[in-house]
Chains A and B, each alone.
Chain A
Amino acid sequence: MAHTIFKSIKLINPATNLNQKVDVVLQNETIIRISKDLNLEKFKKDNQTIIYDCNGLTVSPGILDMRVNIGKTENLKFTQITAAENGITSIVILPNQTPKLNNPSIIDHIKRQSEDVNLPKVMVYGAATKDMDSLEMSEIGLMSEMGAIGFTNGNKSIKNSLVMRRLMSYAAMINRPIIQHAEDEDLSGLNQASTTSIKGEMNEGEMSTRLGLIGIPACAEVIMIERDIRLAKLTGAHYHVAHVSTRDAVKVIREAKKSGLNITCDTAPPYFSLDESKLLTYNTAFKLSPPLRSEDDRLAIIEGIQDGTIDAIASDHRARSKDTKAQPFSAASIGASGIETLFSITLELVHKKIINIYQAISLLTINPAKILGIDIPSLEEKKVSDFIIFDENAPHTIKQENLKTSPTPFDGKEIHGKILATYINGRTAFMNEIFKNKIMK
Chain B
Amino acid sequence: MNKLSKNNYEVNKSSPVKLSSHHLLAIEGMQKSEIQKLLDRADYFANLDKHADTKYLSGYVVLNVFFENSTRTRVSFELAARRLGAEVINISLINSSIKKGESLLDTASTLNAMRPDLLIVRHPHSGAPLLFAKYLSSSIINAGDGRHEHPTQALLDALTIKRRIGYLEGSKISICGDIANSRVARSNIHLLTTMGAEVRCIAPSTLMPSNLEKLGVKCFNNMQEGIKDADVVMLLRLQNERMSGTENPSEREYFKFFGLDEIKLSMANPNAVIMHPGPMNRGVEIASALADDTNRSLIKTQVEMGVAVRMSIIEALNHSKNKT
Residues of A within 8 A of B (CB): 189, 194-195, 197-198, 204-206, 208-215, 217, 281-282, 323, 326-331
Known: A209-B212, A212-B183. A331 touches B244 (CB 8 A): no
Residues of the B chain whose Cβ atoms lie less than 8 Å from the Cβ of A209: 186, 209-212, 214-215
Interface string of B136-150 (1 = CB under 8 A from A): 000000000111110
Partner of A212, one of B105, B149, B212, B244: B149
Q: Is the CB of A211 within 8 A of B210?
A: no
Known: A189-B244, A282-B130, A282-B131. A330 touches B125 (CB 8 A): yes
Any A CB within 8 A of the CB of B28: yes
A-B contacts at CB below 8 angstroms, number: 81
Chain B residue with minimal CB distance to A199?
Answer: B244
Known: A198-B244, A213-B147, A331-B125. A326 touches B103 (CB 8 A): yes
Q: Is the CB of B125 within 8 A of A194?
A: no
Chain A residue with minimal CB distance to B208?
Answer: A209
Q: Is the CB of B127 within 8 A of A211?
A: yes
Residues of B within 8 A of A (CB): 28, 103-105, 123-128, 130-131, 145-149, 183, 186, 209-212, 214-215, 241-244
B66 to chain A, nearest CB (A): 15
Chain A residue with minimal CB distance to B247?
Answer: A198
How far apart sit A189 and B128, CA to CA, in the bound complex (Å)?
A: 21
Chain A residue with minimal CB distance to B149?
Answer: A212
Q: Is the CB of A327 within 8 A of B104?
A: yes
How far apart sit A22 and B152, CA to CA, in the bound complex (Å)?
A: 69
Q: Is the CB of A212 within 8 A of B130?
A: no
A283 to chain B, nearest CB (A): 9
How far apart sit A204 and B180, CA to CA, in the bound complex (Å)?
A: 12
Residues of the A chain whose Cβ atoms lie less than 8 Å from the Cβ of B145: 212
What are the nearest 3 A-B pairs in CB distance? A212-B148, A212-B147, A282-B127
Q: Which of A189, A205, A211, A323 has the most CB of B within 10 A?
A: A211
How far apart sit A212 and B185, CA to CA, in the bound complex (Å)?
A: 11
Chain A residue with minimal CB distance to B123?
Answer: A328
A366 to chain B, nearest CB (A): 41
How far apart sit A96 and B149, CA to CA, in the bound complex (Å)?
A: 36
Q: Is the CB of B186 within 8 A of A197?
A: no
Chain A residue with minimal CB distance to B183?
Answer: A212
How far apart sit A25 and B106, CA to CA, in the bound complex (Å)?
A: 57
Q: Which of B127, B210, B212, B242 has the most CB of A within 10 A?
A: B127
How far apart sit A264 and B126, CA to CA, in the bound complex (Å)?
A: 37
Q: Is the CB of B211 within 8 A of A281?
A: no
Other 12 A-B pairs with CB < 8 A, given A206-B210, A208-B210, A282-B131: A197-B243, A197-B244, A206-B211, A208-B209, A209-B186, A209-B210, A209-B214, A212-B145, A213-B148, A217-B210, A323-B103, A329-B127
**A–B Cβ pairs within 8 angstroms, 14 of them:** A198-B244, A205-B211, A206-B211, A208-B209, A208-B210, A210-B28, A212-B145, A282-B126, A328-B123, A328-B127, A329-B126, A330-B124, A330-B125, A330-B146
Chain A residue with minimal CB distance to B242?
Answer: A197
B242 to chain A, nearest CB (A): 5
B25 to chain A, nearest CB (A): 11
How far apart sit A198 and B210, CA to CA, in the bound complex (Å)?
A: 15
B219 to chain A, nearest CB (A): 11
Residues of the B chain whose Cβ atoms lie less than 8 Å from the Cβ of A212: 126-127, 145-149, 183, 186
Residues of the A chain whose Cβ atoms lie less than 8 Å from the Cβ of B124: 330
Residues of the A chain whose Cβ atoms lie less than 8 Å from the Cβ of B127: 211-213, 282, 328-330
Q: Is the CB of B243 within 8 A of A327?
A: no
Q: Is the CB of B126 within 8 A of A330?
A: yes
